[in-house]
């Protein structure tokens, strides 16, 4: 149910966002205009869209708007986040990023120095990953009609074999690092609680050098990859099996969460599974290659990569398309795609 007004839950990245996109956007386009050049587009709702450009390769394009508040936070800023986030959407599609375009919208009166800091962060991520900045746009909105800065980013990558969500029973589910760090940090900042929760830091980070080489090498055995940003692990795992004759079974005690993050979220009664990360990936891999993939991730620098569960073919029809969490005490619960309804997390 969308209702008569757009609310913040519609932008939280969960199933409500999917409903808005499907009902208000996708439904307005005829199916034959959901994709272009023999690629994929609205037919799959992945992090990026693909276009076949020659016999060997696809171009992969991803686009995201960044509205995070505060603009500067422990571990990063909106510029770092925009560049990292857009590149990561290409990485999880198994695409090597080659180009980026930035659309900056700035409130009149915004300090040039802050804008320069943001652009320093954004361009540093691009340079370190050998990604060209090929164009963009610059707009100013009158004072009071925009809170600070928003950045829209378009990323362009190349892939011989883009990754499209195709999990199979028995596949193992890997996370490449501790979860919920970005969301917990932004939440603490928005609540004015950064001092009471020392050690919180966003994990905003491009995965081009650490995760992409592993996805490229093991592409034939990797059946899905996503970055659990808006909506956190909960939404990503639910989308993985949504509408399929499969379920995901994860073990809560195996999901890595740093102590500072856990304590802060516990105090607020928030499940870290619902909280966004900006520097990790979820990788779904054939069981025969799981230990090799974990080892390769460790070697590339993702030293905390770990298996948290698996894809199963459920016997009980009630859990089809759902995510089951084994609790620390051995019970099982169903994990709803229930994103933390936190505005301006990214």
The minimum distance between CB 105 and its own copies, in angstroms, equals 5
| Closest residue by Cα to residue 232 from 254, 257, 213 | 257
The minimum distance between CB 270 and its own copies, in angstroms, equals 19
Nearer to its own copies, 94 or 201 (CB): 94
Q: CB-based contacts of 192: which residues, under 8 Å, 6+ apart?
A: none
The minimum distance between CB 136 and its own copies, in angstroms, equals 6
The minimum distance between CB 156 and its own copies, in angstroms, equals 7
Nearer to its own copies, 30 or 269 (CB): 30
* C-alpha to C-alpha distances, 139 to 70, 152, 155, 238, 261, nearest whole angstrom: 20, 11, 20, 37, 37
Q: CB-based contacts of 247: which residues, under 8 Å, 6+ apart?
A: 241, 311, 312, 313, 314, 319, 320, 321, 322, 323, 324
Q: For residues 340 and 16, is the Cβ–Cβ distance under 8 A?
A: no
Nearer to its own copies, 24 or 268 (CB): 24
Nearer to its own copies, 98 or 306 (CB): 98
Q: For residues 284 and 223, is the Cβ–Cβ distance under 8 A?
A: yes
The minimum distance between CB 99 and its own copies, in angstroms, equals 4
The minimum distance between CB 183 and its own copies, in angstroms, equals 15
Task: Name the token pair of 39.
Answer: 């690629």
d(C-alpha 340, C-alpha 188), whole Å: 13
Nearer to its own copies, 59 or 249 (CB): 59
**DSSP 8-class letter at 322:** -
| Closest residue by Cα to residue 311 from 207, 130, 169 | 169
Nearer to its own copies, 69 or 298 (CB): 69
| Residue 37 dihedral angles phi and psi, to the nearest 5° | 50, 45
d(C-alpha 8, C-alpha 11), whole Å: 5
Nearer to its own copies, 178 or 339 (CB): 339
Nearer to its own copies, 138 or 269 (CB): 138
The minimum distance between CB 275 and its own copies, in angstroms, equals 17
d(C-alpha 143, C-alpha 158), whole Å: 40
The minimum distance between CB 203 and its own copies, in angstroms, equals 20
| Residue 52 dihedral angles phi and psi, to the nearest 5° | -80, 125
């Amino acid at each position: 149910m969308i209702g008569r007004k757009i609310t913040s839950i519609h932008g939280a990245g969960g199933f409500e966002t999917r409903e808005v996109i499907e009902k208000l956007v996708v439904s307005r386009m005829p199916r034959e205009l959901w994709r272009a050049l023999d690629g994929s587009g609205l037919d799959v709702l992945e992090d990026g869209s693909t276009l076949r450009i020659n016999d060997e390769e696809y171009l992969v394009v991803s686009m995201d708007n960044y509205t995070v508040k505060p603009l500067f936070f422990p571990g990063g800023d909106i510029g770092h986040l925009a560049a990292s986030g857009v590149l990561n959407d290409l990485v999880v599609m198994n695409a090597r990023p080659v180009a980026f375009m930035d659309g900056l919208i700035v409130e009149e009166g915004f300090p040039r120095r802050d804008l320069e800091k943001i652009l320093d962060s954004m361009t540093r991520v691009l340079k370190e990953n050998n990604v060209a900045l090929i164009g963009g746009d610059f707009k100013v909105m009158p004072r009071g009609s925009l809170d600070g800065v928003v950045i829209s980013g378009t990323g362009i990558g190349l892939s011989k074999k883009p990754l499209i969500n195709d999990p199979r029973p028995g596949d193992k589910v890997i996370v490449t690092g501790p979860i919920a760090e970005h969301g917990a940090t932004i939440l603490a900042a928005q609540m004015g609680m950064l001092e009471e929760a020392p050690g919180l830091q966003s994990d905003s980070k491009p995965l081009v050098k650490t995760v992409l080489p592993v996805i490229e090498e093991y592409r034939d055995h990797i059946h899905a990859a996503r970055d659990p940003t808006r909506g956190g692990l909960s939404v990503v795992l639910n989308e993985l099996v949504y509408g399929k004759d499969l379920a995901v079974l994860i073990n809560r005690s195996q999901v890595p969460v740093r102590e500072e993050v856990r304590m802060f979220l516990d105090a607020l009664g928030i499940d870290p599974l619902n909280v966004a990360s900006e520097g990790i990936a979820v990788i779904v891999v054939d069981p025969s290659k799981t230990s090799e993939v974990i080892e390769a991730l460790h070697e590339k620098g993702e030293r905390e990569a770990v298996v948290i569960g698996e894809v199963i073919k459920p016997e009980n029809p009630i859990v089809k398309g759902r995510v089951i969490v084994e609790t620390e005490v051995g019970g099982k619960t169903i994990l709803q795609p229930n994103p933390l309804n936190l505005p301006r997390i990214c």
